[in-house]
Amino acid sequence: MTDKPLRQIVSKPSPAELDNWIPYKIERREEWLCRWLSVAGQSFCEPFFTETISKCQAQLPNGSRYASLSSLESLLAAAAQPFAALAPAAFIFHVSRCGSTLLAQLLGLSRQNVVLSEVPLLDQILRLSVSDSGIAPASVEALMSASLRLLARQRNVDEARLFVKLDSWHVAFAPLIRKLYPATPFVLLYRAPDEVMRSHRKRRGMQAVPGLIEPQLFDLSAGDFDAGDADGYLDKVLAYYLSRFMGIAAQDRRALLVDYRLGSMEMVRQVAAHAQFAISDADLASMEARSRFHSKYPDQNFSETPEASAASAVTGQAQAAYLQLEQMRSRQQTT
């Protein structure tokens, strides 16, 4: 791969030309194009993949004035080339503010695990189905599997497993992901809705601000919510998330329900058992040490201080779905 526009050089790049390069963004010009990023020497260990991108962008050749661009057809051709890629060991769905970031970081402490945490490219591709009516569902599926294969390229001999932590709204695309990866375990990570609400009141995520994410991904239309009522909107989003989890868990035997209240180390143990791998004693010790610190601020000790409940902003629908999930989880543990 050179630092000139890829689409002007080669339409079917070889594995050697793509060594240490990944697709990281698509953008619309006269047509949809893919932007590529050199990740030479970088591991995927940041809390969010956007941080990995930022770190790589500061280095050459990414800092060159030339953009490394290709057509989407070149992206598909690149993924079709022979190279070693990790198959997903599990997809992690979550309702946000429920320990998913720390879970991903703990899994990533093992040299055998690669963790892709909320990759912007995968989000762009999945949401093409609602943002661009000219993109056929089959094209979205092809781009999703091709992009994930390129991101999952095995970069050293220690790497054995790939975990994909999705964005919270990607539960809307669970059927598509199950179609592409029929045997891959799903992890459904959740938390009591009032606790999630309380966390978002401190600092709201995209899904907690009306309109930032397409409302139809939450089964909402413009008349279903008040744009000025952020808590009311988030309550509907949480009710949707928990209800979708309930439906997935009822129909999919490869889906594992995990409640935040289990604690970070028990979550890791259950995910490892579900994905059928053993955690070494050394990795377990590293995970236990890391679990004592904040997921997003690793230099700060983690502690939860008692705060006022946000239960008054949570409807019975969200709470009822949470309680049903807990009942389903209890049944999972006894079977």
Which pLDDT does position 333 carry in this prediction? 85
Which pLDDT does position 111 carry in this prediction? 93
Rounded Cα gap, residues 262 and 50, in angstroms = 28
Which pLDDT does position 3 carry in this prediction? 41
In a domain, 288, yes or no: yes
Q: Which amino acid is at 128?
A: L
Asked if residues 64 and 3 have their Cβ atoms less than 8 Å apart, the reply is yes
In a domain, 70, yes or no: no
How many domains, in total, are found in the chain?
1
Asked if residues 4 and 30 have their Cβ atoms less than 8 Å apart, the reply is no
In a domain, 175, yes or no: yes
In a domain, 59, yes or no: no
| pLDDT tens, per residue, the chain with 335 residues | 444 444 443 445 566 667 788 999 999 888 899 999 888 767 777 778 888 888 777 776 655 555 688 889 999 999 999 999 999 999 999 999 999 999 999 999 999 999 999 999 999 999 998 988 789 999 999 999 999 999 999 988 999 999 999 999 999 999 999 999 999 999 999 999 999 999 999 999 999 999 999 999 999 998 899 999 999 999 999 999 999 999 999 999 999 999 999 999 999 999 999 999 999 999 999 999 999 886 655 565 555 555 667 777 788 889 999 999 999 999 988 87
Nearest to 90 by CA among 289, 296, 252, 221: 252
Q: Whole-prediction pTM value?
A: 0.90
In SS3 terms, 35-93 reads as EEEECCCCCCCCCCHHHHHHHHHCCCCCCCCCCCEEEHHHHHHHHCCCCCECCEEEEEE
The enclosing domain of 243 has a CATH number of 3.40.50.300
In a domain, 235, yes or no: yes
In a domain, 7, yes or no: no
Domain that holds residue 259: 84-112+160-333
In a domain, 62, yes or no: no
In a domain, 27, yes or no: no
